[in-house]
Structure 1
Amino acid sequence: MHFLFFRNNAGIMFCPYDLSEDGFEIQFATNHIGHFHLTNLLLEKIKQTAKSTGIEGRIVNLSSVAHIHTYSGGIKFENINDERSYCDKRSYGQSKLANILHATELSRRLQAEGANVTVNSVHPGLIMTNLFKHSGFLMKILKFSTGILWKNVPQGAATTCYVALHPSLKCVTGKYFVDCNEFKPSAYARDEILAKRLWDFSNKIINAAEIDVKVS
């Protein structure tokens, strides 16, 4: 059995406050908006290919258990770029929450269209990679005290590969997976209204950025 899959994987974590070139908080911009925009750019091609070949398309968003540790309300829509209220840990959690909300809302929309494409999100686990470059000392302490829980890179890729390729997940969509098992995410991550609001908010950001590029 074959699947056509696309993975939103790139990210940054626990960064000092900064803004992207488009003027948005850097973790939210990199971990969510970049993936949201790239997915939108490729989505019609994925849907058309899935339809013409009969091969199920699969989109996988890499989230994190850190989505639980976010700001009050889940997403700071009204002051997403506020430096005074910025917390590097909560901002990372906010971006990882956005990954799940993006997956569930896109899944809902594709199901409504009858598209042969599924969208799920995963927590890959605790993996020591360059993602920790802004908090190396903290991560060394955590790894020393919780070493048995940490994974190497191949182990960390297992859940992503499972969700992207396993035949048993055919037509399974809008779910969150941990250690190759479906897992119940936070209440914010299950909030359909929040997911729809994030979708509209993200589109507004993308549209505004495109207008700025055309004007300049």
Structure 2
Amino acid sequence: MWPFSKKGVSGFSWSSTAEQVTHGIDASGFTAIVTGASSGIGVETTRVLALHGVHVIMAIRNIAAARDVKEAILKEIPSAKIDVMELDLSSMASVKKFASEFISSGLPLNILINNAGVMACPFMLSKDNIEQQFATNHLENST
């Protein structure tokens, strides 16, 4: 018997979907920031949070990609509250600008999903002259 096919004490297993795990949850009134929300797990996280009434701030580098994701989610969930804000985690100036703009919005921060990251990229330096992968995945996520 495959050990991961068994359901855990939560009643869920590796094959459980985000919708199954969050079924019945009303998170209206909550605000979440999701980094890396324009691809992969970030898209699904944004979609499922919005499905449950969360106001999602998509914190991303690529504004055009984020707008496409936002439009796709709004087609499925017309009542979704989603905003797109630019955030380049490899740039300290961008992180500070994002934080300032978010604070100025007056929204609460109830959920923070630090999903963005880079891996195995060729050696390059960030705008702050720090190795790109280290700057993106460690420094800016800890500020």
Shorter-normalised TM range = 0.3 to 0.5
Structure having the larger proportion of residues in helix: 1
Q: TM-score, normalised by structure 2?
A: 0.37
| Structure of higher RCO (CA pairs closer than 8 Å, 6+ residues apart) | 1
TM-score between the two structures when normalised by the length of structure 1: 0.27
